[in-house]
Amino acid sequence: MLVPHRTEKTVDVSIKLWENEFTVNDDFRSYSEGASQQFLNSIRKGELPSEVQGIFDKEEVDVKVEDKKTEVCISTKPVFQPFSGQGSTTPKMVSKAKSIEVENKKNVSAIPLNNLEPITSEQIWLANGKTIVQKFNTSHRNAVGIVVNKQVKGKILAKRINVRIEHIKHFKSRNGFLKHMKENDQKKKEAKEKGTWVQLKRQPAPPREAHLVRTNGKESELLKPILYEFMA
- In order along its 232 residues, the chain shows pLDDT tens digits of 455 555 456 778 888 888 778 888 878 888 888 888 888 888 877 777 887 777 777 777 777 888 877 777 765 444 444 444 444 333 333 333 333 334 444 444 456 777 777 777 776 666 566 677 777 776 655 555 555 666 777 777 766 665 554 444 454 667 777 888 889 999 999 999 999 998 888 776 666 666 666 777 777 777 776 666 655 4
Please compute, for residue 186, the number of CA atoms within 13 A of its CA located in the half-sphere on the CB side.
6
At residue 120, the pLDDT reads 72
Using CA atoms, how far residue 219 sits from 105, 208, 222, in Å, is 51, 21, 10
At residue 230, the pLDDT reads 57
Helix or strand (DSSP H, E) at 39:
helix 34-44
Helix or strand (DSSP H, E) at 6:
strand 5-6
Q: Looking at the domain 5-103, which fold is it?
A: Nucleotidyltransferase; domain 5 (3.30.420)
At residue 153, the pLDDT reads 76
For the chain, domain boundaries: 5-103, 105-196
At residue 8, the pLDDT reads 53
At residue 189, the pLDDT reads 92
At residue 102, the pLDDT reads 41
